[in-house]
Structure 1
Amino acid sequence: MPRLVSLVRASVLAVPLAVLATAPAVADSGNAAAGFGQLYHDGVVVRTVVTPTSTPGKGVDPIFAFSSGVDGQLSVTSVAPGGPGYHGGRWAVYVVSWNTAPYLLTSDEAVASATAAGDITVARMPAADFVCPVAG
């Protein structure tokens, strides 16, 4: 039984990594070895420290992870350091799937508009929640 629990914990930690890794250019290839990645916040690329720790069901900072998309599509967040509602990168994972030809989304407002237009479907994935701070 302990082995099963360890396997479940390992797979839960792997989910956010796999979700984020499937989005093109989530990790800046030039800095991947240094442990840094990128995501969009309000149309601007912000850096992340890629030291994720699994926190299933405990995320509070929304992050939209794309399972596919156009070149340059990064995950998108509505919060960042210094702004209201930022909880240190305690990510509540939302997986974005395209219902039309993908196009670049760089803000939570763009994600909301694409959802309203029916271009994307957004699904909450609490099992994939994790902690990974954004560099200020």
Structure 2
Amino acid sequence: MFRIVMLLLGSFLLTTLAYADPGQPNFMPALWGDGEVWGTKGTTTLPAPTANNLQSFDALYVVTNSNNPEGQLPVSEAAPGNPDYNGGRWFTHTAEWTAAAFMYHGIVPVLTSYEDIQYHESMGHLVITQGSFPDGPPVYFQCPLLPVK
């Protein structure tokens, strides 16, 4: 039941993130990037990149099964101010906590950066899958990050 609620919440957040009115920026917390929360402005779904432009997308990690009562916003690979930030072109990845993570942590931590994602994946606590979960955000989309106000 909890997993279903988290999937629905994640789906709602990312549907809002990806399909927000292009004319209406959202300065409320929408995702984590480089340890900070960011707002966003949904713009458009993008076609899959080619070998020539894959590097112009950043990974966006959507955690589908966090049990942290604070909730878990998506986590970006990079954010404004980071030289690796690509301006808000995203390649969605699904991240799932493993049974080992729940045994180790009990309540899993809130992930706030790409470094957090890498650390927990290296510990065997996260399984990362390229692409989106059913009814999740588009696999490739554009959505620039905005400061939270």
The TM-score bracket by the shorter chain reads: 0.5 to 0.7
RMSD: 3.1
Compute the displacement of 1:105 (Å). Answer: 1.0
Task: Letter of the 1:65 partner, please give it.
Answer: V
Q: Cα 1:94–1:110, aligned 2, differ >3 Å: closer, same or farther?
A: same
Partner residue of 1:47? 39
Query: Would the aligned equivalents of 1:43 and 1:106 in 2 still touch at CA under 8 Å?
Result: yes
Partner residue of 1:89? 88
Compute the displacement of 1:57 (Å). Answer: 2.2
Partner residue of 1:75? 74
Query: Would the aligned equivalents of 1:27 and 1:38 in 2 still touch at CA under 8 Å?
Result: no
Structure 1 residues 104-113 or 93-102, which shifts more?
93-102
Deviations 1:86-132 (A, max 9, x none): 22210011110110323311111110010000111001118611111
Stretches of structure 1 lacking an aligned partner (at least 5 in a row): 1-18
Aligned residue for 2:119, secondary structure, equals: helix
Task: Letter of the 2:65 partner, please give it.
Answer: S
Task: Letter of the 1:131 partner, please give it.
Answer: Q
Deviations 1:4-33 (A, max 9, x none): xxxxxxxxxxxxxxx8951686699xxx89
Deviations 1:60-84 (A, max 9, x none): 1111111121233111112122321
Q: Cα 1:20–1:40, aligned 2, differ >3 Å: closer, same or farther?
A: farther
TM-score of the two chains, using structure 2 as the length reference = 0.63
- Does 1:129 pair with 2:143? no
Identity among equivalent pairs (%): 28
Compute the displacement of 1:46 (Å). Answer: 1.5
Partner residue of 1:117? 123
TM-score of the two chains, using structure 1 as the length reference = 0.68
Query: Would the aligned equivalents of 2:34 and 2:79 in 1 still touch at CA under 8 Å?
Result: no
Stretches of structure 2 lacking an aligned partner (at least 5 in a row): 1-6, 103-107, 133-137
Q: For 1:20 and 1:132, how far apart are their aligned partners in 2?
A: 21
Query: Would the aligned equivalents of 1:23 and 1:68 in 2 still touch at CA under 8 Å?
Result: no
Q: For 2:33 and 2:84, how far apart are their aligned partners in 1?
A: 13
